[in-house]
Structure formats: structure tokens, C-alpha cells
Amino acid sequence: MKFKYVEWPYLRSAVVLFAGSAALGAALLAGSAVFESRMERDYLHHSERLAETSRRYLAVDEEEKVIRDYLPRFAELDKNGLSGEERRLSWIETLQDAGDALRLPSLGYEIRAQKPYQPGTASEPGRYRVFVSEMTLSMQLLHEGDLFALIELLDERAQGVYTVSSCEMTRNFVELTDNPVAGNITADCLLEWFTVKPADGGETNI
């Protein structure tokens, strides 16, 4: 077919319609690609937000579990004098009362200045810091049982948490004496009293 025989006036509308349809199709195709890309970005964004929300929820859930498990124990320790300021007056009064109750020949003590506790292994700093107050005891005992009785009375009556770091006993006489003012054994001990305080210097609230 030769183009000179094509009746263009009759085909003009069809050509225009075809060109318009092709342009519209191209526009729709490009628009759908842009829409798909935008939807994919929105999906990734919402997926990340969902994952972050899930992580936070799990962290809160784990924190609540820790609180449920350890809060009663911490409350008990707080009641016994673990948190806040050191309870030196309670320690001294309990120690003196114990010495009088056991009728020890002599009982001397010294409490050093409180300082941050340095554990044997490195640990990450948290919201709370542990402090220690070292107490040295020098006692005259009638027998070894007096030392254990003294420690037992401290456990029962003193406000605080402590540990006996070291204790050395030396016999004063070859033969034991019944003289209540003459100790048969000299005991020198080191006690460490622990206190927990917020790292920011605030108050402990339970």
C-alpha cells in the first residue's frame, strides 16, 4: 500500500486517540512504579517502627519481671539498713549491747571513713553504687564461742549488711582462766558494712 492512497483525514482521530492512550498508559505505568516504590518505603518504615516498638515492649516486660523478682528482696534489705546513709549509731549501739550481754572483758572498735566499694572483678556502672565502711574490732574473749555469739547478735539486731573479711584469734595464756576480767583469747577482726546509694546522689525510693 502506498501512503499517497491513505486517507489521512479519516485516520487522524484514530492516531490522536492512539497517541493519547499510549501517553496515558506510560503515565499510569510510571505512576504505578512511583506508587510501588513509595509503598515499599512506607512498609519498611512501619516495619522498623513495629520492630522498635516490639523491642521496647520486650525490654519493659523484662524490666517488670526483674522488678517482680527482686523488689521484695531489695525492700527487705532496705528495711534492714542497706540503702541510704550508713547506720553507724546502730552498729555501735548493737556492738556495745552485745559486749555487755556476753560480758566480754574488753571490746574496742574503730570505723573508718566510708568509701566506694571496689569489687574483685570489673563491673558496669549502674544506677546505684555500693559503698563500704570498714570496722576493726579488738576483743578479749573468755573462749572462742564468744566471737560467734557476738556475730550472731550483730546479725539479729544491727541495721545494716556486713561481712566478716578477716578474723585472727590468739591465746593469751597456756592455761585457761575463769577470771571474767582477764580474757583468754585476743581476737582482731575486720568487718565491712555495705551501703547502696543512687549514683546521681539522690534518694532511694522503693
DSSP three-state, residue 120: coil
Name the domain count of the chain.
Answer: 2
Q: Give the pLDDT confidence score for residue 165 in this predicted structure.
A: 92
Specify the range with the lowest mean pLDDT, choosing from 87-96, 107-116, 172-181.
172-181
Asked whether the predicted pLDDT for residue 126 surpasses 80, the reply is no
The confidence band for 59, taking pLDDT boundaries of 50, 70 and 90, is low
Domain-located, residue 205 = no
Domain-located, residue 140 = yes
Asked whether the predicted pLDDT for residue 124 surpasses 90, the reply is no
Same-domain check for residues 191 and 106: yes
Q: Where are the alpha helices (DSSP H) in 88-183?
A: 88-102, 145-157
- Residue ending a domain, among 20, 47, 79, is 79
Same-domain check for residues 153 and 73: no
Average pLDDT rounded to a whole number, residues 14-40:
67
Average pLDDT rounded to a whole number, residues 184-191:
92
Same-domain check for residues 55 and 108: no
The confidence band for 192, taking pLDDT boundaries of 50, 70 and 90, is very high
- Counting residues of the chain whose pLDDT is more than 70, the rounded percentage is 55
- Residue ending a domain, among 79, 106, 135, is 79
Asked whether the predicted pLDDT for residue 200 surpasses 80, the reply is no
pLDDT in tens, 137-184: 999 998 889 999 999 999 888 888 889 999 999 988 766 666 666 778
Asked whether the predicted pLDDT for residue 187 surpasses 80, the reply is yes
The confidence band for 87, taking pLDDT boundaries of 50, 70 and 90, is confident
Q: Which residues contact 124 (CB under 8 A, 6 or more apart)?
A: none
Which residue range forms the structural domain that includes residue 172? 88-198
Domain-located, residue 133 = yes
Q: pTM, whole model, 2 decimals?
A: 0.58
Average pLDDT rounded to a whole number, residues 97-120:
89
Q: How far is CA 75 from CA 16, 69, 72, 110, 113, in A?
A: 85, 11, 5, 29, 26
Q: What is the mean pLDDT of the chain?
A: 76
Same-domain check for residues 181 and 96: yes
Q: In terms of pLDDT, which residue wins out, 112 or 178?
A: 112
Q: How far is CA 152 from CA 112, 131, 136, in A?
A: 23, 23, 17
